[in-house]
Structure 1
Amino acid sequence: MWTIPNLLTALRVCLIPVFVIVYFLDWQWAHQAGALIFWFAAITDWFDGYLARRLGQSTAFGAFLDPVADKLIVCAALLMIAHSYDTVWITVSAILLMSREVFVSALREWMSAAGKRDTVKVSFIGKAKTMAQMLALIGLLSELEFFMGFPLYWVTLGKLLLLIATVLSVWSMLVYLKAAWKHLTAEA
């Protein structure tokens, strides 16, 4: 059970309170340090999947814990940016992104129980949404527009990517729902 990929996933779960506490510390670089921790967690997400496949260490525990860890840290980050930016459109985006995660997780669970999980497997749109979402969150969490006098525009890019992630999120949810619709409306 405690393979290298599973240890990385468990580390990601353990990083959630560290990430939140560091982000809200009362010191100058707290948000940038929190964004760095979030970035590290996002990298471990890719790395644990790669290692599980490469080393042949895929486990049922890892298949369960990996998406849970992803959703927990992303939801924490979405709540944090909604709090930090306190704007309607970032809050609405955060709510839509979190709602989509709950909806698609429930849909996949239901489809799996019905023996139709492959109907709602991860699509390219879902992967693109995840990439845009992660990059948006890193930029927004960091709050960096300038570094040592040089323009970075991470917040501006983060806002644009959050909008793209929100659109892709709703789009992918509708694609998954369409794929599952005939099973959801079938007679019991």
Structure 2
Amino acid sequence: MINLPNMITVVRILLVPVFLIVFWAAGPHRVLWGMLILAVAGITDVIDGYLARKLHMVTPLGKILDPLADKLMVISVMTSLFMIGRFPFWLVVLVIVKELLLVTGSLFMVIRKHLQVSANFYGKAATIAIYAALFFSAFKITGASLVTVLAGIISVIALSNYALSFARRRTY
């Protein structure tokens, strides 16, 4: 069902190619404009989630599109920043592996166990830490290396937490 929160999420998905076009266009401020697009995507993520809960408009479609929009944007930004030498390769790999494992585990839980999988505190903390690492790295802010290491640590903690959660729900 397409409702207001889902429409906002679709706009977020459409921001991914906009980010890529702007970021890879020749120009002195391409990183700035690209990161502004990431900021808009982050703000709309908060808005669509708030509206979906507040207006009781959480839908199965929204539960699929919302994390998809997040993953597409973050991976696009991380990869782009890595390609211009502003983001560490190890964190790109870590986040992609984490997301692949989470998607695989979530699909298993939904298909085989008929259980819903949703974001928790650690997953949200990892997302915030990754956004911070992206901004610190993009703008070469002092402490960017420390922020990326913290984002990596929090991402591993989030993945471990999800793995433990999946293991607890599994029936043998």
Establish whether TM, by shorter chain, passes 0.5.
Answer: yes
Number of corresponding residues: 172
Residue 86 of structure 2 contacts residue 137 of structure 2 at CA under 8 Å; is this kept in 1? no
Partners of 1:32 and 1:61 lie apart in 2 by 32
> Partners in 2 of 1:158 and 1:85 — Cα distance?
13
Question: Which range moves more in the overlay, 51-60 or 95-104?
Answer: 51-60
**Taking structure 1 as the reference length, what is the TM-score of the superposition?**
0.82
| Equivalent pair of 1:136/1:157 in contact (CA under 8 Å) | no
2:90 is matched with which residue?
92
What's the secondary structure of 1:114's corresponding residue? Answer: helix
1:56-95 pair list within 5 angstroms: 56-85=56-85, 90-95=88-93
Shift in CA distance, 169/53, structure 1 to aligned 2, threshold 3 Å: same
TM superposition shift of 1:123: 2.6
Is 2:130 aligned against 1:133?
Answer: yes
Partner of 1:165: 151
Identity across aligned pairs (percent)? 31
With over 3 angstroms needed to count, the CA separation of the structure-2 counterparts of 1:55 and 1:121, relative to structure 1, is: closer
The higher radius of gyration belongs to 1
* Aligned-residue offset at 1:183: 5.7
RMSD: 2.1
What is the alpha-carbon distance in structure 1 between the residues aligned to residue 81 and residue 171 of structure 2?
Answer: 37
State the shift of 1:105 in Å.
Answer: 1.3
Q: Which residue of structure 2 lines up, in the alignment, with residue 42 of structure 1?
A: 42
List runs of 5+ in structure 2 lacking aligned partners.
none
